[in-house]
């Protein structure tokens, strides 16, 4: 049997230096094990992880039901192509549909792929001549060329132009700007219900219902990118459920299958009907292991009452982190939507991330000045307090 001997972090880094393309900035630490809100490095140090798996590990590291489901499934059937029916994919699609707006699912493996599928579906559904999609500044939709073209952040475009044609960028949370951008070639509006990578930007309550109205008036599809907000991250299964509206299409990934790679697009049945056999595909999409893990994820969330725990955690984070906020101090604003948290600083957040790491707490910084936390929904209140104590200590020293 192939085994992996445990190397030191230094030894693993040497392998990367020689054999792995350096397209990521990495911390000089090799992680080897995880359990719940904790991860351990090769040297045996334990970290409290408030950014587990870049938002993918919404149930923490190695959630037992997901581990069990995957173990069982890999012994039964690992992969078969989408030329066959497979029960886990059908059952997971049913669960997602019943917890959202009654749509139908297309499965893939990542967020960018889900967005690609949404772009293609929006274009093919609209028909000839209508191909333009409106997206928002500071949004993030992925790195493949279509998803990158939808991502209105010039820093990510540099060197990869020309991009895919047909994207119009408007400021986020600005309905009038969307209305002005619509023309006879527009087929869809694509936005995140909360901008994640853009700094945890929560729109006004009228924004999503207003987009729905605009899309209805102009016969456009409303596509919500719920890759980062899905599966209870915001305290509801999907972030749009905080408002009185539904999208036509939503894209899902990250936490969809408890940390196992899985992406999906859910489309309202009339829209889904435009995607006919042969038009789009993904070899690994919807495979039995990923979808079985997805089913175990939903079961865990429901049986452990985790949506309710998200509300408890959000209240605690709001209360604890809110104390750090002051107009003249380092913390300008704290934005909490479930377990999706942005701490807007008046200074660069990089030293905060480094100082937290020294104290064995893992957090993220996005857009230079926003400390982003995407903690697991089964974090305990004690772990929440411990993390807030460390953050308060570090931020006071900055
Ligand atoms: N959409 C959103 C809202 C995201 O946050 C991300 C990744 O951060 C993506 C799409 C791209 O997902 P992936 O990295 O799985 O391709």
Interval 331-360: pLDDT, tens: 999 999 999 999 999 999 999 999 999 999
pLDDT in tens, 263-312: 999 999 999 999 999 999 999 999 999 999 999 999 999 999 999 999 99
Say which DSSP state 153 is in. Answer: -
Q: What is the pLDDT of residue 327?
A: 77
Q: Hey, which residues are catalytic here?
A: 140, 225, 254
Q: What is the pLDDT of residue 328?
A: 77
The model's pTM: 0.98
* Residue 3, pLDDT above cutoff 90: no
* Residue 145, pLDDT above cutoff 90: yes
Distance 115 CA to ligand 1 centre (A): 9
Nearest atom within ligand 1 for CA of residue 55 = 8
* Residue 1, pLDDT above cutoff 80: no
Please provide the DSSP assignment of 300-336 as one string.
Answer: HHHHTTHHHHHHHHHHHHHHHHHTTB-TTSSEEEEEE
Q: What is the pLDDT of residue 216?
A: 98
Chain centroid, CA 140 distance in Å: 10
Q: How far, in Å, CA of 55 to CA of 51, rounded?
A: 6
**Is the CB–ligand 1 distance for residue 252 below 6 Å?**
no
> Residue 5 — pLDDT band, cuts 50, 70, 90?
low
Share the mean pLDDT of the chain: 97
- Going by alpha carbons, the residue nearest to atom 1 of ligand 1 is 141
Q: Which of 227, 233, 250, when mutated, tests ligand 1's pocket best, judged by the most ligand atoms within 8 Å of its CB? A: 227
Mean pLDDT, range 97-118, rounded to an integer: 98
pLDDT in tens, 380-398: 999 999 999 999 999 998 8
Distance 303 CA to ligand 1 centre (A): 28
Candidates 17, 9, 56, 2; CA nearest to 228 is 56
């Amino acid at each position: 049997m192939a085994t992996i001997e445990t190397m030191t972090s230094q030894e693993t880094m040497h392998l990367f230096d020689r054999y792995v393309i350096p397209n990521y900035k990495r911390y000089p630490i090799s992680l080897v094990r995880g359990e719940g809100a904790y991860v351990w490095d090769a040297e045996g140090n334990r970290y409290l992880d408030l950014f587990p798996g870049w938002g993918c590990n919404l149930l923490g590291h190695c959630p037992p039901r997901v581990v069990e489901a995957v173990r069982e499934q890999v012994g039964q059937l690992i992969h078969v192509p989408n030329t066959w029916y497979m029960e886990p994919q059908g059952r997971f699609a049913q669960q997602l549909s019943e917890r959202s707006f009654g749509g139908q699912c297309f499965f893939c493996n990542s967020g960018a792929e889900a967005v690609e599928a949404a772009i293609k579906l929006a274009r093919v559904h609209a028909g000839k001549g209508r191909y333009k999609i409106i997206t928002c500044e500071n949004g993030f939709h992925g790195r493949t060329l279509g998803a990158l073209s939808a991502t209105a952040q010039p820093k990510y475009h540099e060197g990869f132009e020309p991009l895919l044609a047909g994207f119009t960028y408007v400021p986020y949370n600005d309905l009038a700007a969307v209305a002005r951008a619509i023309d006879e070639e527009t087929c869809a509006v694509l936005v995140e219900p909360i901008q994640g990578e853009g700094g945890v930007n929560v729109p006004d309550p009228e924004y999503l219902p207003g987009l729905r109205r605009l899309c209805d008036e102009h016969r456009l599809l409303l596509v919500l990118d719920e890759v980062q907000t899905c599966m209870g991250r915001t305290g509801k299964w999907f972030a749009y459920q905080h408002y009185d509206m539904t999208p036509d299409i939503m894209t899902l990934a990250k936490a969809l299958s408890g940390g196992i790679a899985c992406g999906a697009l859910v489309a309202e049945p009339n829209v889904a009907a435009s995607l006919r056999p042969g038009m789009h595909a993904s070899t690994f999409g919807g495979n039995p292991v990923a979808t079985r893990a997805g089913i175990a994820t939903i079961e865990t969330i429901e049986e452990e009452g985790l949506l309710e725990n998200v509300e408890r955690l959000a209240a605690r984070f709001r209360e604890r982190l809110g104390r750090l906020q002051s107009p003249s101090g380092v913390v300008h604003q704290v934005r909490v939507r479930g377990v999706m948290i942005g701490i807007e600083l008046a200074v660069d957040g990089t030293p905060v991330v480094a100082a937290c790491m020294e104290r064995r707490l893992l957090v993220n910084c996005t857009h230079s000045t926003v400390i982003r936390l995407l903690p697991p929904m089964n974090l305990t209140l004690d772990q929440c307090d411990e993390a807030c104590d460390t953050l308060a200590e570090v931020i006071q020293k900055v």
